[in-house]
Amino acid sequence: MTISFEPSGFIFITGNLSSMMKNIFWIILVFSGGFQVQAQTSYAGNSATASFVTYQMGFQRPRESFARKEANLKALFEAKNLKWPARYMYIRSFKYDSQLEVWVKNTVTEPYKLLKIYKVCALVGTLGPKRFEGDYQVPEGFYHINEFNPNSAYYLSLGINYPNASDRVLSDPVKPGGDIYIHGGCATVGCIPIKDDQIDELYVLTASSKSVGLDFIPVHIFLLSMM
């Protein structure tokens, strides 16, 4: 059994644990006051990544995405009293709920604000973590964005760093799988697909933040929400 804690107070449980034991564990946490775990990202201010948006604008799809989405996103940030681009960003997904959330805040000491909820529009495999290449499973665990692909076969895509350290221990040692992305296209063999107009937004959000020094954007993937 593995028990992990995420920034907004959710608990992530994997392994052979009965439903009754999960409920008991949850009740104990509630009555003991729960856990407050604060995950931070690494906003470093203007840096060598300042040209990242300029680089992305050299590709047709990101260029069109910025033209369609940037003004509306700036207006949304202003309405929520957030600085554009996001100084701190956190992404999480709940597999059972087919949901992808984007949380943002201005400073390291503030609580995150929920900015967007996207519907994951296709799902393969079953509930449970990814363990080997070709199992069609979406990973479960703590990851971060490690790639921007402006020419994806699924329109636009954001890579996540599967396998992480835990996956390398628990998954197949030879072929744990890889190439896990948040992407458009509404089709998948084990990734997190959202609609093209939604990956437009998410690509603009993340690329803009990277351009001002946000080099680490966490992506936490859970079986389900326990709220």
Annotated catalytic residue 183:
yes
Q: Which two tokens stand for residue 173?
A: 């040692």
What distance, in Å, lies between the first and last C-alpha atoms of the chain? Answer: 21
**Residue 191 annotated to the active site:** yes
Q: Which of 144, 186, 191, 220 is catalytic?
A: 191
Partners of 155 in the β-ladder: 152
φ/ψ bin of 34: left (φ > 0), alpha (ψ from -120 to 50), beta (otherwise): left
Q: Which residues make Cβ contacts (< 8 Å) with residue 117, sequence separation at least 6?
A: 99, 100, 101, 102
Catalytically annotated residue among 144, 183, 186, 220? 183
Rounded to whole angstroms, how far apart are CA atoms 84 and 211? 11
Rounded Cα distance between 195 and 32, Å, is: 41
Helix (H, G, I), strand (E, B) or coil at 125: coil
Phi, psi for 144 (deg, rounded to 5): -150, 160
Give the active site residues: 183, 191
